[in-house]
Amino acid sequence: MSKFWIVAMHTYIQKVKSKSFIISTAVILLFMAAFANLDRIIGLFGDEEEKIGVVALSGDYFAALQEQLKASGSELALEEFDSESNAKKAEDEGDISGYLLLEDQAGLPAGIYKAASIADSTESTELQNALQQVQTVIMTEKANITDEQLAAIYTPVSFEVEALNEDAKSEAELSQARGLVYIMIFAIYFSVLVYAGMIANEVAIEKSSRVMEILISSVSPIKQMFAKITGIALLTLTQLIIFVVVGYLALMNNSGVGDVFELFNFNNIETKTVIYAVVFTLLGYLLYATMAACLGSLVSKLEDLQQMLLPMTMLVIFGFLIAMNGLSNPEANFITITSYIPFFTPMIMFLRIGMLDIAPLEIAIGIILMLVTIGLLAYVGAKVYKGGVLMYSNSTSLKDIRKAINLTKNQ
């Protein structure tokens, strides 16, 4: 066991000290800090108050339009011009961003907005919405509709959704679960792609340096393979702890923790949901990490690694797409079926646990199938690993797995 931990800690320390790990961690932390203070950053580069010209061709709607913009919280400022030519001159000189031609059509306002560029639709949309409100006010006055009647017209209809099954989750619980599931699916997706690929890369680098012959003579292939998986797992844990701590502190300094928790409905997360999130993340990591170590042992050149990892990458992407689709319909038959396929179980079974009230037996079957698959991959992977690390010919296809196993038999 001491040799196992020597290899694991060597892998961990070398990766932690590597420039790629330090730079990538620093860059992600920088993005997290920027995101947590996005409102302040935008404020530093905030534009000056936008000024819009208004030319009344007919009718008198300027005051009403200005009042509606103010009521909606718009930051647009209006300036009245007596002619379009004067408004155009002000726009050419940069005094206004654009101008609105207002006219009366059958007792209702109509407008034409003109600007040098209409790529930014913010101003035109705000003006259109305000003008729509002016029209609504005029129409209600003509129809002798009171403010109370108008409020009643625009009051949203009372509509609730209730499940007949007493054990089914409520709408609030589903919203809460959806937020956590959404984040965990992304976490599993990226952790598998990034860190499993890192294991394959580590094996390929050592193999290309011809140090592998020395390693396998002192440490058994199965110990070496899982030592590397453990080392990268510790690296993953280290990076995640850094991200969580820094992210939490950044949000606390910005008083945004409560807002984030409220946005994703994390205020009342069930303990079992968090436990299952950890369990399926670890199982998914073990499954794909074992596969990545096997595939990485088959290549002799780093440039061939991505091609060899393509089938594994496609499995992860396919599972991710199924899970995203299942967020809106977790009871679909194809979601239930694919949740028992071990390569998709980490994301899709967790999706069902979070969104539905499924029987513990179903969860147990999914976990057992994953454990069996991990065991089979470990058994076959050890043989592939042992033979693959001694194969130095160009290996770019999965057919080389048989070569690696035959090489193991001949040793």
The answer to whether the beta carbons of residues 292 and 196 sit under 8 Å apart is: yes
pLDDT higher for 295 or 367? 367
Most confident of the ranges 32-41, 331-340, 347-356, 387-396: 331-340
Nearest CA to 3 out of 211, 202, 217 is that of 217
What is the per-residue pLDDT across 34-83, written as a single tens digit (0 to 9) for each? 777 766 776 666 555 678 888 988 888 888 888 888 888 887 888 888 88
What is the per-residue pLDDT across 71-107, written as a single tens digit (0 to 9) for each? 888 878 888 888 888 888 888 888 888 888 988 888 8
pLDDT confidence band for 211 (50 / 70 / 90): low
Q: Is the per-residue pLDDT at 31 higher than 80?
A: yes
Q: Is the per-residue pLDDT at 340 higher than 90?
A: yes
Least confident of 59-73, 176-190, 347-361: 176-190
Q: What span, in angstroms and rounded, lies between the C-alpha atoms of 208 and 213?
A: 11
Residue 26 class from Cβ within 10 Å (0-12 exposed, 13-18 middle, 19+ buried)? exposed
Q: What span, in angstroms and rounded, lies between the C-alpha atoms of 383 and 404?
A: 7
pLDDT confidence band for 362 (50 / 70 / 90): very high
What is the per-residue pLDDT across 376-393, written as a single tens digit (0 to 9) for each? 888 777 776 666 555 555
According to the model, what pLDDT value does residue 369 have? 94
According to the model, what pLDDT value does residue 39 have? 66
According to the model, what pLDDT value does residue 148 have? 78
- Residue with the two structure tokens 């069902």: 352
According to the model, what pLDDT value does residue 361 have? 93
What is the per-residue DSSP string for 39-65? HHHHHHTPPPPPEEEEEESSS--HHHH
According to the model, what pLDDT value does residue 264 have? 54
Distance of CA 277 to the CA centre of its chain: 16
Nearest CA to 335 out of 360, 312, 313, 354 is that of 354
The average confidence (pLDDT) of the chain is 77
According to the model, what pLDDT value does residue 372 have? 93
Cβ partners under 8 Å of residue 360, min gap 6: none
According to the model, what pLDDT value does residue 215 have? 56
Percent of the chain with pLDDT over 70: 74
pLDDT confidence band for 338 (50 / 70 / 90): very high
According to the model, what pLDDT value does residue 370 have? 92
Tell me the mean pLDDT in the region 116-123.
76
Q: Is the per-residue pLDDT at 120 higher than 80?
A: no
Tell me the mean pLDDT in the region 282-290.
85
